[in-house]
């Protein structure tokens, strides 16, 4: 088992010592990511930009890669495929046509229908529908609201569970993770759809799990080593949890690597977002979130939990002699 250890035991890395460099790098990357989102924008998928949804039925499960390449060869935009209601039913989503003519959508559907019938003899057109801009705007609003509420809820939980400094540092680190993911999609212009929103929410969940492990160890050591300085205490806490952090990240990256290679085109954006989120989330947990506690003024001697305080008070009352005895 020793050969499987990625991080050796009893590491003594000075993470806090380089916190100013880490803060500077984080700030620069965050500003660059925001600038990319503002200047280049996100390549919104059909879910957010609106589009046409075409349903095709086949007598046997079709090869999705061939279906996708056939539709993409028409030059109508990048097609998104889903098998809904069974492996023989394929839903093809395309962007709305640039033409504003009343029959523009009908012509697009006829093109797709003709190309698929020529390529696949068992292809049968079922129906089609359009997603309007109003519905797309609602999806953008609801997706952004879901991410925002997740960040706020996590920050409040950290505040109540630990100290307010933990809540602020966790919120800053998670916002950094989300902004970096958005900047990556603005840079690569990969399609940003509801699958990517799901990936972002998953990244938030992973990041908070990683940060909670480190925060728990920091608070535990604050009670155990009340006279130890915060720099030494945080370094020790992060080093103690480092094997778990690295091993968890490497394990997830192996699974995501398999999805990236063999998962197909549909999962490519989701997998890329998750892989970036794991790397960025691990970095922010180790170098940003924990070291930020010192900048926020966290001091040794953390307050006791309410349950512990109540137990201590009850114990003191039992040990105090009552009057008249």
Q: What is the CATH number of the domain that holds 276?
A: 1.20.1640.10
Give the pLDDT band (50/70/90) at residue 28: very high
pTM for the full predicted model? 0.70
Query: How many independent structural domains does the chain possess?
Result: 2
What pLDDT, in 10s, does the model give residues 108-131? Answer: 888 888 888 888 888 888 778 776
pLDDT at 30 over 60: yes
Give the pLDDT band (50/70/90) at residue 4: low
**26 belongs to a structural domain:** yes
Q: Which two tokens stand for residue 104?
A: 């523009």
| Least confident piece of the model among 40-49, 216-225, 255-264, 289-298 | 40-49
Identify whether residues 102 and 173 lie together within a single domain: no
Give the pLDDT band (50/70/90) at residue 307: very low
pLDDT of residue 304: 47
pLDDT at 2 over 60: no
pLDDT of residue 316: 67
CA distance 52 to 227: 65
Q: Which two tokens stand for residue 103?
A: 């029959």
> Residue-wise over 77-113: b if at least 16 C-beta within 10 A, else e?
bebbbeeeeeeebbbbbbbbbeeeeeeebeebbebbb
Identify whether residues 116 and 233 lie together within a single domain: no
Identify whether residues 261 and 286 lie together within a single domain: yes
| 122 φ/ψ angles, rounded to the nearest 5 degrees | -95, 10
Identify whether residues 118 and 225 lie together within a single domain: no
Q: Which two tokens stand for residue 289?
A: 């979130």
pLDDT of residue 31: 93
- The whole domain housing 184 covers 2-41+136-298
pLDDT at 255 over 70: yes
CA distance 171 to 177: 10
Q: Which SS3 state, helix, strand or coil, does residue 75 take?
A: coil
For residues 221-237, average pLDDT:
82
pLDDT of residue 32: 93
Length of the chain: 325
Q: How far, CA to CA in Å, does 136 sit from each of 44, 231, 312?
A: 10, 48, 56
For residues 231-256, average pLDDT:
85
Identify whether residues 115 and 167 lie together within a single domain: no
Identify whether residues 119 and 144 lie together within a single domain: no
For residues 3-17, average pLDDT:
71
What pLDDT, in 10s, does the model give residues 166-220? Answer: 888 888 888 888 899 889 988 888 878 778 888 888 888 888 888 888 888 888 8
Q: Which SS3 state, helix, strand or coil, does residue 89 take?
A: strand
> Residue-wise over 31-43: b if at least 16 C-beta within 10 A, else e?
eebeebbeeeebb
CA distance 210 to 200: 15
**310 belongs to a structural domain:** no
């Amino acid at each position: 088992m020793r050969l499987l250890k990625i991080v050796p035991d009893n590491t003594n890395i000075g993470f806090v010592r380089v916190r100013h460099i880490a803060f500077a790098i984080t700030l620069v990357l965050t500003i660059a990511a925001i600038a990319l989102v503002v200047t280049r924008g996100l390549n919104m998928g059909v879910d957010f930009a609106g589009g046409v949804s075409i349903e095709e039925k086949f007598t046997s499960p079709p090869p999705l890669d061939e279906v996708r390449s056939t539709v993409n060869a028409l030059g109508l935009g990048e097609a998104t495929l889903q098998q809904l209601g069974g492996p023989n039913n394929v839903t093809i989503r395309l962007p709305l046509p640039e033409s504003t003519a009343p029959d523009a959508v009908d012509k697009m559907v006829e093109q797709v229908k003709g190309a698929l019938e020529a390529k696949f003899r068992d292809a049968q057109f079922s129906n089609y529908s359009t997603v309007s801009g109003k519905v797309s705007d609602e999806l953008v609003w609801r997706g952004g609201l879901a991410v925002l509420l997740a960040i706020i809820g996590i920050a409040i939980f950290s505040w109540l569970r630990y100290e307010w400094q933990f809540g602020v540092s966790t919120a800053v680190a998670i916002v950094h993770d989300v902004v970096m993911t958005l900047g990556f999609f603005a840079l690569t212009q990969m399609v940003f759809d509801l699958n990517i929103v799901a990936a972002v929410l998953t990244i938030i969940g992973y990041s908070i799990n990683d940060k909670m492990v480190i925060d728990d160890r920091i608070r535990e050591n604050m009670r155990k080593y009340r006279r130890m300085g915060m720099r030494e205490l945080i370094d020790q806490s992060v080093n103690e949890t480092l094997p778990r952090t690295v091993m968890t990240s490497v394990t997830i990256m192996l699974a995501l690597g398999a999805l990236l290679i063999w998962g197909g085109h549909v999962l490519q954006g989701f997998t890329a977002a998750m892989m970036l989120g794991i790397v960025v989330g691990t970095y922010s947990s180790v170098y940003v979130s924990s070291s930020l506690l010192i900048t926020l003024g966290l001091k040794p001697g953390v307050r006791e939990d309410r349950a512990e305080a109540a137990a201590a008070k009850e114990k003191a009352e039992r040990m105090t002699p009552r009057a008249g005895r």
